[in-house]
Amino acid sequence: MALVPCQVLRAAILLSYCSILCNYKAIDMPAHQTYGGSWKFLTFIDLVIQAVFFGICVLTDLSSLLTRGNDSQEQERQLKKLISLRDWMMAVLAFPVGVFVVTMFWSIYIYDRELVYPKLLDNFIPAWLNHGMHTTVLPFVLIEMRTTHHQYPSRSCGLAAVCTFAVGYILWVCWIHHVTGVWVYPLLEHLSPGVKIIFFAAVTVIINIIYLVGEVLNNYIWDTQK
């Protein structure tokens, strides 16, 4: 794709995430008033990750246009730092977390929506916003991967970063339960302590597998084009 259409596309995706976040935060849900607020939900954290990532993408595009034809080594160095940050976020956060949220949400939703998204939420969250949070994330991140070559970190560093994020969020969920006595997701209420440990371990493995899939897919797309 040409540079300008890609820029416009990323800007449009960024605006859509800003709209989704604003509409979500405007909803007066009881869960938003409890300990942890919106930050206890992985869906909200993912939306913030995607918005920040596409914000960096847009900033990188603007910086690239402004430095084009400019021989300033300092500006070139700053642009390379932005590109490195963009690529790292894509590899470690935007792709694995985004794909994980979409696949896990809809898999559990199809099995029994009450375990992850009770019908009560339909009174607060309109269908279009639900899809904005749990569906469009996947095509958006795939479009970004298809239109831009991202340099992945070394596999060991990438997997370590993904594991750190996964374990950090699991500990956050456990802390919220320790403080409030309520699990963030109804699904966890039905699991015994031993099964919870297995579930958390499986979740960590799945998000690592998604990271590897992203790396392979990125290499396949761009090695084929080369």
- Tens of pLDDT, residues 187-215: 899 899 999 999 999 999 999 999 999 99
| N-to-C CA span, the chain | 14
For CA atoms 60, 62, 68, 74, give the dihedral sign.
negative
What value, to the nearest 5°, has the Cα angle with vertex 169 and ends 159 and 22?
110
Q: Does position 1 have pLDDT exceeding 60, yes or no?
A: no
How many CA atoms are closer than 13 Å to the CA of 179, on its beta-carbon side?
11
Running DSSP on this structure, what letter comes out for residue 91?
I
pLDDT of 69 higher than 50: yes
The Cα–Cα gap between 205 and 100 comes to 11
User: pTM to 2 decimals?
Assistant: 0.92
Grade residue 143 by pLDDT with cuts at 50, 70 and 90. Answer: very high
54 near 14, Cβ under 8 Å? yes
Query: Where are the strands (E) in the chain, listed by range?
Result: none
DSSP-derived letter for residue 135 is T
Taking 60 as the threshold, does the pLDDT of residue 3 lie above it? no
